[in-house]
Amino acid sequence: MGVAEITVIKWRDRYKENRIKGIYDKQRSGKPVTYGAEFRKKVLDLISTQPPKGQASWDGNTVAKELKVSADAVWRLLRKEGICLSRQRTWCVSTDPEFAQKAADVIGLYLDPPCNAIVISVDEKPNIQAIERTKGYVYTSSKK
């Protein structure tokens, strides 16, 4: 059969002691999990927070550095979870304590514009469209 005699003796004795249960492999501890559920939770919690100062969004290497773990492990987890950090929205956090009230006023104008009035919105970063136009374009007399 191509099996060592000692192996046959071992299995025969196991069968003799435990009958049919004796022919199944015993439980083994195996290698302990290095990056388990706790690691997953830490990564997912971290990427849902604001990224470090000077970064628009998280990336795998920054997450790894922050958690002091392997960058490869972070990337493997992100792939497994189907998370693509490059497609995440960037953070835009205001330091103005009255931001929420001001934003509510502006959003209210967009949702319910006053009759016979023009609402003009000026953005300090004009290359970023903050709110989609709801009423289309307003043309001037020069058609611009």
pTM for the predicted model, two decimal places: 0.44
Q: Using one digit for the tens of pLDDT, what is the confidence trace for 46-63?
A: 988 888 888 878 889 999
pLDDT of residue 39: 93
Q: What is the CATH number of domain 37-87?
A: 1.10.10
pLDDT of residue 107: 83
pLDDT of residue 88: 58
pLDDT at 114 over 60: yes
Cα maximum dimension of the chain: 100
Q: Where are the alpha helices (DSSP H) in 53-98?
A: 60-67, 71-81
Length of the chain counted residue by residue: 144
Model confidence at 65, pLDDT cuts 50, 70, 90, reads very high
pLDDT at 70 over 90: yes
